[in-house]
C-alpha cells in the first residue's frame, strides 16, 4: 500500500508523527438519549422516531439516566475525572440527516476530563496516552447512498439513528506511531466492552474513529499542521490510513510544500486518503448552550454507585491471571482479549490441575483447530470440561502430548467431546519400566555423541532422548515414567 512510496526510509525517519484520536461510541441503552424511542440497530428505516428526536417544534428533550450512568462508568474506567456539573450545548450545522439543525452535545463543560489509557511502549514498558475529555452527545441520522434501485440518482434518509446516545472520547496528541494508535483503540474497545456500555461494533457504526495526524522534524517542539482522516471503519485501516498519511505529509514537506489543515477521507480500496474539505470550508459549528436541558449534575452518590459497578478491567484481570493462576503474560493477554473467553476460562480453571497447562491446551490445541475451521469457541465439538480433562490427563502423565493431539483430531473429526473419545479409545500407554528401559538403551546406543555432550553438562539434551524414545514408542510411553528413566540412565 502507500502511494507515497517514493520516500526513502532515512528521509521518513527524520520526522516524528503526532497522532490524536476522536472516538464516537454508541451507548447500549434501551432507549435514545432524550426521548423514549427504541435505540436499536437494523430496524425498518424511520420507524423509531418521534417529535423529540426529529426536533419538531415544541418538543422537549428529557435526558436518559441510563446514558449518564454508562457514560460515567466509561469515564471512570478510562481514569477520567468526572465533573460534578457539565453543560449541554447545541452544535449547529445543516445536513439532510439532521432534521433538528443541531446535535445536542457538550462543549466547554464536558462530563469528564483528564483520563488515560495505558499502551505498551516501544522500549518494553508502558506508556500513558492522555484522554482530554469524554462527553455525552446524540447521533445524527443516516444518509443511504446505495441499496435502492434508484440509488444512482437519489439519496434516502433513515432517521432511526437520530438521538442515539453517544460518548465522544478525545485523546491528547500523545500517540507517536500507527501501531500505538492501533493499540490505543484495541485497549479502549476492550475496556468499553468489559464495562458493557457499548457493543463497539465498527461494521454497524457503534464505534467510529477520526484520526488526527501531523508530522514534525524529530526534536522539534512545535506540532506540525494536522489533517483529520475520517471514514475509516476498522482498526487495521486506521493504522494503514495513518501510515499513508504520515508518508504523504513528509513528502509534501521535503518537496518544499506546506501541509494543509484539512479533513481527508480514507479510501480502503485504493489504500489512500483524499482531501474532503480544507479549513476554509470547515464547518463553523457555532455552539450555543442548550436552553431545554438543565446542567447535568453527577452527584457524589451517583459517582460512588458507578464506582461500585465498575467491573474488573482487562489490565487488572491480566495481571491477576499471571499472579494468581500462574498464567504466562502472553496467554493472559489472549485470554482477556474477550470478557466472555476470560470468564469461561476462569470458571473452568478451578478444576484444572495446572491452569497454565489448561490455557495452553485451550488456546493452541483447541483454539488452533477452531481457527482453522473458522469456528467460535461456542461451536466447538469439545466442551470446556473436555479441554480441562485433556489438560489434566496430560499434566498427570496419563497421556502423552502426541496422544492428546490424536484424541483431539478424532474428536474434531467425529464432532464428539473429548471425554467420549478418550473413554472409547483409552490410548495405550507403555508403563512397563523394563520395556521402556530397553527402548532407552537402544536410543542411547544409537546416539553416542549426544550422550557424551549430556554427560559433559548439556543437561537439556535429556529432552532429545525423551523425544526419541517417545517416537520409538509411537507416542505411547508414559511421559512421567519415561522422563524419570531417561535421566536415571543418562546420569547412571
Ligand atoms: P479540532 O478543533 O480541529 O477538532 P482539537 O484541538 O479539538 O482539534 O483536537 C482534535 C484531536 O486532534 C485531538 O485528539 C487532538 O489530540 C488532536 N490534535 C490536535 N492537534 C494535533 C496535531 N498538531 N497533530 C496531531 N493531532 C492533533
Ligand atoms: Mg475534531
Ligand atoms: Zn424519539
Ligand 1, residue 174: give the atom nearest the CA. Answer: 16
What is the best residue among 128, 129, 131, 173 to mutate for testing ligand 1's pocket, by most ligand atoms within 8 Å of CB? 173
Please tell me whether residues 181 and 286 are part of one structural domain. yes
Domain range enclosing 395: 312-425
CB 24 within 8 A of CB 208: yes
Angle 283-285-286 (CA atoms, 0-180°, nearest 5)? 140
What's the grid cell of residue 168? 465522544
Strands (E) across 245-375 are located at 262-267, 272-278, 287-289, 296-297
**pLDDT (0 to 100) of residue 368:** 93
CATH number at residue 477: 1.10.10.410
| Any domain includes 160 | yes
Secondary structure in 3-state letters for 396-454? CCCCCHHHHHHHHHHHHHHCCCHHHHHHHHCCCCECCHHHHHHHHHHHHHHCHHHHHHH
Work out the pLDDT band at 57, boundaries 50, 70, 90.
very high
Q: 186: number of CA atoms within 13 Å, CB side?
A: 17
Cα separation, 209 vs 214, in Å, equals 16
**Domain-ending residue, one of 302, 334, 351:** 302
In this structure, the answer to whether residues 287 and 164 fall within a common structural domain is yes
125 in the same domain as 52: yes
Q: How far is CA 160 from the centre of its chain?
A: 28
In a domain, residue 9? The reply is: no
Above 60 in pLDDT, residue 4?
no
Q: Which of 406, 425, 444 is the last residue of a domain?
A: 425
Provide mean pLDDT across the span 220-232.
Answer: 93
Q: Cα–Cα distances in Å, from 126 out to 135, 331, 372?
A: 26, 18, 33
| Nearest of 188, 193, 274 to residue 231 by alpha carbon | 274
Examine the pLDDT at 161 and tell me if it is beyond 50: yes
Q: Are 356 and 392 in contact (CB under 8 A)?
A: no
Contact between 130 and 171 (Cβ < 8 Å): yes
Domain-embedded: residue 228? no
The residue whose C-alpha atom lies closest to atom 14 belonging to ligand 1 is 20
How many angstroms separate the most distant Cα atoms in the chain?
A: 95
**DSSP type of residue 73:** H
Q: Is the pLDDT of residue 283 over 80?
A: no
Pocket of ligand 1 (CB under 6 A): 18-22, 170-173, 212-214, 223, 226
Are residue 98 and residue 38 in the same domain, yes or no? yes
The DSSP 8-state label assigned to residue 310 in this structure reads P
What's the number of domains the chain is made of?
A: 3
Q: Are both 371 and 480 inside the same structural domain?
A: no
Q: How confident is the model at residue 374 (pLDDT cuts 50, 70, 90)?
A: very high
Between residues 23 and 3, the one the model is more confident about:
23
**Would you state the cell numbers that stand for residue 279, as one nine-digit string?**
479549513
pLDDT at 2 over 50: no
pLDDT at 281: 61
At 475-485, the pLDDT tens digits run: 888 888 888 88
Asked if residue 12 belongs to a domain, the reply is no
Within this chain, do residues 393 and 484 fall inside the same structural domain, yes or no?
no
The alpha carbon of 30 and the centre of ligand 1 are apart by a number of angstroms equal to: 33
Strands 15-26 and 156-158: unpaired
What is the average per-residue pLDDT within 210-236? Answer: 94
pLDDT digits (tens, 9 = 90+) for 287-346: 999 999 999 999 999 999 999 999 999 999 999 999 999 999 999 999 999 999 999 999
Q: Which regions of 142-244 does DSSP assign to beta strands (E)?
A: 142-144, 156-158, 165-171, 207-217, 227-232
* Mean pLDDT score, 362-372: 94
| Count of CB atoms situated within 10 Å of the CB of 284 | 7
Looking at the fold, whether 419 and 441 belong to one and the same domain comes out as no
Please list, in sequence order, all residues whose beta carbon lies within 8 angstroms of the beta carbon of residue 20, skipping any fewer than 6 positions away: 170, 171, 172, 173, 174, 175, 212, 213, 226
Q: Is residue 77 part of a domain?
A: yes
Residue 176: inside a domain: yes
Nearest to 401 by CA among 459, 440, 461, 360: 360
Residue 191 lies in a domain: yes
What is d(CA 194, CA 29) in angstroms, rounded to the nearest whole number?
16
- State how far the alpha carbon of 78 is from the alpha carbons of 19, 199, 206, 339, in Å: 19, 17, 18, 17
Residue 113 has pLDDT above 80, yes or no: yes
389 inside domain: yes
Which cell goes with 240? 494503514
When the pLDDT of each residue in the chain is averaged and rounded to a whole number, the result is 92
Task: Mark whether 346 and 205 lie in a shared domain.
Answer: no
Same domain, 413 and 479: no
Q: Which ligand is nearest to the CA of 20?
A: 1
Stronger pLDDT, 426 or 211, i.e. the higher one: 211
Substitution candidate for ligand 1 out of 188, 212, 285 with most atoms within 8 A of CB? 212
Ligand 1: residue whose CA is nearest its atom 17 = 20
Q: Does 184 lie in the same domain as 292?
A: yes
Helix (H) or strand (E) holding 115: strand 112-120
Q: How far is the CA of 212 from the centre of ligand 2 (A)?
A: 8
Return the ∠ at Cα 442 (arms to 441 and 443), rounded to 5°.
95
Last residue of a domain, one of 425, 458, 479: 425
pLDDT the model gives residue 280: 59
pLDDT at position 402:
87
392-396 average pLDDT score: 92
On the question of pLDDT at 3 being above 80, the answer is: no
Reply yes or no on whether the pLDDT at 1 is more than 60.
no
DSSP string, 24-58: EEE---SB-SSSSSB--TTPSTT-S--HHHHT-TT
Which of 226, 229, 281, when mutated, tests ligand 1's pocket best, judged by the most ligand atoms within 8 Å of its CB? 226
Question: Are residue 397 and residue 464 in the same domain, yes or no?
Answer: no
Reported as a single tens digit per residue, the pLDDT across 416-469 is: 999 999 998 887 777 788 888 888 999 999 999 999 999 988 888 889 998 888
Higher pLDDT, 231 or 405: 405
Handedness of CA 467, 469, 471, 473 (dihedral sign): negative
- Rounded CA-CA distance 232/241 in Å is 8
Q: Are residues 26 and 130 in the same domain?
A: yes
- pLDDT over 50 (residue 117): yes
Kindly state the helix (H) or strand (E) to which residue 18 belongs, with its residue range.
strand 15-26
Amino acid at each position: 500500500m502507500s502511494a507515497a512510496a517514493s520516500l526513502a526510509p532515512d528521509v521518513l525517519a527524520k520526522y516524528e508523527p503526532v497522532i490524536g484520536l476522536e472516538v464516537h461510541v454508541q451507548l447500549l441503552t434501551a432507549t435514545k438519549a432524550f426521548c423514549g424511542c427504541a435505540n436499536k440497530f437494523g430496524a425498518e428505516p424511520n420507524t423509531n422516531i418521534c417529535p423529540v428526536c426529529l426536533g419538531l417544534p415544541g418538543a422537549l428533550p428529557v435526558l436518559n439516566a441510563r446514558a449518564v450512568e454508562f457514560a460515567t462508568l466509561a469515564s471512570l474506567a478510562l481514569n477520567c475525572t468526572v465533573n460534578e456539573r457539565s453543560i449541554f450545548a447545541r452544535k449547529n450545522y445543516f445536513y439532510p440527516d439532521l432534521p433538528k439543525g443541531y446535535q445536542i452535545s457538550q462543549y466547554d463543560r464536558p462530563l469528564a476530563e483528564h483520563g488515560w489509557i495505558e499502551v505498551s511502549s516501544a522500549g518494553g514498558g508502558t506508556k500513558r496516552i492522555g484522554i482530554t475529555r469524554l462527553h455525552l452527545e446524540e447521533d445524527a441520522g443516516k444518509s443511504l447512498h446505495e441499496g435502492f434501485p434508484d440509488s444512482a440518482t437519489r439519496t434516502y434518509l433513515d432517521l432511526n439513528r437520530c438521538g442515539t446516545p453517544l460518548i465522544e472520547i478525545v485523546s491528547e496528541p500523545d500517540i507517536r506511531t500507527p501501531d500505538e494508535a492501533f493499540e490505543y483503540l484495541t485497549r479502549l474497545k476492550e475496556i468499553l466492552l468489559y464495562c458493557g456500555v457499548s457493543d463497539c461494533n465498527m461494521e454497524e457504526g457503534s464505534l467510529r474513529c477520526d484520526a488526527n495526524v501531523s508530522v514534525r522534524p524529530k526534536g522539534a517542539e512545535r506540532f506540525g499542521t494536522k489533517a483529520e482522516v475520517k471514514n475509516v471503519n476498522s482498526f487495521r485501516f486506521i493504522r494503514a490510513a495513518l501510515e499513508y498519511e504520515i508518508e504523504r505529509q513528509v513528502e509534501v514537506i521535503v518537496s518544499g510544500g506546506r501541509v494543509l489543515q484539512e479533513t481527508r477521507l480514507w479510501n480502503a480500496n485504493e489504500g489512500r486518503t483524499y482531501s474532503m474539505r480544507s479549513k476554509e470550508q470547515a464547518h463553523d459549528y457555532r455552539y450555543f448552550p442548550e436552553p431545554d436541558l438543565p446542567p447535568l449534575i453527577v452527584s457524589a452518590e451517583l459517582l460512588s454507585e458507578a464506582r461500585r459497578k465498575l467491573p474488573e478491567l482487562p489490565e487488572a484481570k491480566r495481571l491477576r491471571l499471571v499472579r494468581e493462576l500462574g498464567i504466562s503474560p502472553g496467554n493472559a493477554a489472549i485470554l482477556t482479549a474477550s470478557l466472555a473467553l476470560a470468564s469461561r476460562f476462569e470458571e473452568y480453571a478451578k478444576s484444572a490441575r495446572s491452569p497454565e497447562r489448561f490455557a495452553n491446551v485451550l488456546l493452541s490445541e483447541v483454539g488452533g483447530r477452531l481457527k482453522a475451521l473458522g469456528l467460535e469457541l461456542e461451536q466447538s465439538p469439545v466442551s470446556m470440561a473436555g479441554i480441562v480433562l485433556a489438560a489434566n490427563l496430560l499434566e498427570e502423565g496419563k497421556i502423552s502430548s502426541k496422544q492428546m493431539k490424536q484424541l483431539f483430531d478424532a474428536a474434531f473429526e467425529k464432532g464428539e467431546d473429548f471425554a467420549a473419545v478418550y473413554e472409547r479409545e483409552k490410548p495405550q500407554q507403555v508403563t512397563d519400566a523394563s520395556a521402556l528401559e530397553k527402548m532407552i538403551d537402544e536410543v542411547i546406543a544409537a546416539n553416542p555423541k549426544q550422550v557424551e555432550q549430556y554427560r559433559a553438562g548439556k543437561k537439556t539434551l535429556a529432552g532429545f532422548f525423551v523425544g526419541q524414545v517417545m517416537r520409538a514408542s509411537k507416542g505411547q510411553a508414559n511421559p512421567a515414567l519415561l522422563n524419570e528413566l531417561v535421566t536415571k540412565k543418562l546420569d547412571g
